[in-house]
A = this chain, B = another copy of it.
Amino acid sequence: MDQKTTRDPAMTDVARLAGVSHQTVSRVLNDHPNVREQTRLRVRAAIKELGYRPNRAARALVTGKTQLIGVVAQNSTLYGPASLLSAFEEAAGEAGFAVSVGRVKVLDRESIAAAVERHRDQRVAGIVVIAPNSSAADALADVPAELPLVTVDGDPERATPLVTVDQGVGAYDATTHLLDAGHQTVWHVSGPTDWFDAAGRVQGWRRALELHDREVPPVMAADWSASSGYRAGQMLARMPEVTAVFASNDHLALGVLRAMHERGRRVPHDVSVVGFDDVPEAAYFIPPLTTVRPDFAAVARETLGLLLEQVSEGESARPRRTIAPVLVQRESVAPPA
């Protein structure tokens, strides 16, 4: 009578319709071998007819496991983290896992610990933490060892399973590309120094210069914003000896481009610039930006793989994966004047 009150069909309803016990329905659902083919078909038909959908809460209650993965990420729209998250959600979805995202305003120990706790409340099967700076990495010490955990963009020195873009290689390639174009040396506008990504890029840049026996100019420290890139660019633009700049991300590069433009220094004629990230609009900067493209989808896949290994096997043998980025050449690099 009352349509609203009729509850969703449960396993016993399917069993009754198919003329079997609910346990047999459960067996069909979980692909147990010992079910006669004919029975299996009958149960499948009943499931379909009733529009039955298994109750995950009930399953989770008895098995003690969920199909949920928790992700802790900063509440920012920085291109890198956002791309990573999006790619991870897609990968996890395809593998049949739901992803619960816990956003954190600042990457301090307390906030991250709280987000991790919320995920544990939900009894997630595992956790992914996008922990790009040291305070975030420190917070991971609080995570209990029995909870499967993978860190992305985290501390390379730490023992936790980690997936990350190979910042060093990307920065090395970018710098070498500028040297190959004929520049004496390359200046660097760095991201925040407590970010591992930024630190890795600084190292790759320095290694490239040292390997080619070039002078290593002082690092221009900035945050990730176009605004700070602009400020760094204003200083660089005033120094005539600066002919090549490697910026730690594309938005910093954008700020540098604007500073150069305002100062009348043409890019790439007077100064060459390389960025990092390959944001979609980088090809439409003035001029189109040569940059380094990380493969976020690959990072996401590896992250999921590493996590699922831990979920099923306990411990993983190779707890570290690095994804090499690719240099994308556009029009912001030229030989020095």
Contact = CB atoms under 8 A, between A and B. Distances in A.
Contacts of A58: 57, 61
A62 B171 CA distance: 55
A17 interface: no
Contacts of A64: 7
Contact of A254 (B99, B102, B122, B284): B284
A75 interface: yes
A304 B292 CA distance: 38
Contacts of A257: 286
Given A93-B118, A286-B286, A77 B66 contact: no
A199 interface: no
Given A77-B79, A102-B93, A103-B89, A284 B122 contact: no
Q: Which label, helix, strand, loop or mixed, suits the secondary structure of the A interface?
A: helix
Interface stretch (A41-49, A184-192, A223-231): A223-231
A226 B280 contact: yes
A203 interface: no
Contact of A83 (B54, B56, B77, B99): B77
A101 interface: yes
Nearest to A78: B280
Given A77-B86, A86-B76, A280-B77, A103 B98 contact: no
Interface string A224-259: 011101100000000000000000000100110110
**Best-surrounded residue of A61, A86, A230, A281 (most CB of chain B within 10 A):** A281
Given A83-B77, A226-B284, A56 B121 contact: yes
Contacts of A122: 56, 98
Given A86-B77, A98-B118, A118-B93, A227 B284 contact: yes
Interface residues of A, number: 55
A89 B61 contact: no
A57 B53 contact: no
Contact of A103 (B54, B61, B93, B103): B93
Contacts of A60: 57
Nearest to A88: B103
B86 A103 contact: yes
A284 B255 contact: yes
Contacts of A227: 283-284
Contacts of A68: 100
A261 interface: yes
Given A123-B56, A226-B283, A261-B286, A82 B93 contact: no
A229 B105 contact: no
A90 interface: yes
**Best-surrounded residue of A66, A68, A93 (most CB of chain B within 10 A):** A93
B105 A90 contact: yes
